[in-house]
Amino acid sequence: MSGSLSTVGVMSLFLYYFFFLLSSTAIGGRLVRDGASTTRGRDMLENGLGRTPQMGWNSWNHFQCNINEQMIRETADAMVSSGLSSLGYHYINLDDCWGEQNRDSQGNMVAKASTFPSGIKALADYVHNKGLKLGIYSDAGTQTCSKTMPGSLGYEDQDAKTFASWEVDYLKYDNCNNPGISPKERYTKMSKALQNSGRNIFFSLCEWGQENPATWATNVGNSWRTTGDIEDNWTSMISRADQNNQWASYAKPGAWNDPDMLEVGNGGMTIEEYRSHFSIWALAKAPLLIGCDVRSLDKQTLEILSNSEVIAVNQDKLGVQGKKVKSNGDLEVWAGPLTGGRKAIVLWNRSSGHASITAKWSDIGLKSSTIVHVRDLWEHKTTSSVRGKLTANVAPHACKMYVLSPKRLS
């Protein structure tokens, strides 16, 4: 009888373990069971999104609060007709001012009737039918930054489910009008609400880098702002690049540093400055979110935004953020690794005069004996059998961007 009981006990234990495995789901290195999760080797939000930095468009930089559903639909149309969507620019993101001042009688956020009369769900349907994704905006405070809409503080679960019901794909979550509760607490609450909403929604934290989100946000959101808002001028752009640079080691697939959206095409910088802006954002694995009016792109702006070779650096599957590796006053070398043992390099002249800039192989993590093919990403030309260093003459506020592919490693 005792042997029989032992057998039953063993069988019970086996069945328990079997059903445990059935009820457990492995998701990207994370074992999930009964709503709980245990991280295996990675500490990050495992919603499967943002494996490369997000690409798309956002309304704020150019339009601020002057948005409506017709303009958003026309923008979606232009993203397709310009060819930008085929290059990976998939998100069409509403920023502040899309909603009514007050919630409805059930406490729900409501689209502003005068500017979005068809509602957000209809807009999402339109955008999805173009093969694109729709993003929306809210705030981790009592009101949004414009104070024309309610924030989501205290309504996180309700708002997340509302966004999911509208089939929204992306949430930018701002940090205005908060009562002094820590950002980590407020953003974590919305992260959990999104994960429980029934829809996979990309979570973009817009906390402005105030409490070093790179150190805690990898398991909260897919990207986090490391800086205050960018402005359409040279000084603002380079300062955002420098502030973002210090957090380079924290970026990885599914979790990106965000020095704010692109100003390319808005008119406040020269073409060379915009090319530098785009190059550094691409190298730094920053989100590539267009901030101009894509319905009226000029040729030079489109050429910058549609440079597929620069975009490929940003979207490289290795997912390692490039960074500043050398500076001599205003003459800088930025670099980072790519798949296949390649290196991406930007020689950046932040001075007001022409200058020669050199990157030695030792600056970028290559042996001095390594022979490489050098691909110029803006001139679209390749130079073969380069050894030891790379030198270029660079115009004021301009850059040169290259990918180095080792011919042989020794």
- Positions marked catalytic: 174, 229
DSSP output for 238-305: HHHHHHHHTTGGG-BTTBEEE-----TTSSSS-HHHHHHHHHHHHHTT--EEE-S-GGG--HHHHHHH
Phi/psi for 43 (5° steps) reads -120, 90
Rounded to the nearest angstrom, the gap between the alpha carbon of residue 255 and the centroid of all alpha carbons in its chain is: 8
C-alpha distances (whole Å) from 339 to each of 162, 343, 367, 403 are 40, 8, 17, 11
Strand-pair partners of 399: 348
Q: Assign 353 to helix, strand or coil.
A: coil
Question: CB of 168 within 8 A of CB of 134?
Answer: yes
Query: Which tokens is 39 given?
Result: 């991280």
Per the structure block, which two tokens stand in for 250?
A: 């924290």
d(CA 41, CA 237): 35
Whole-angstrom distance, CA of residue 136 vs CA of residue 44: 22
For 325, the enclosing helix (H) or strand (E) is strand 323-328
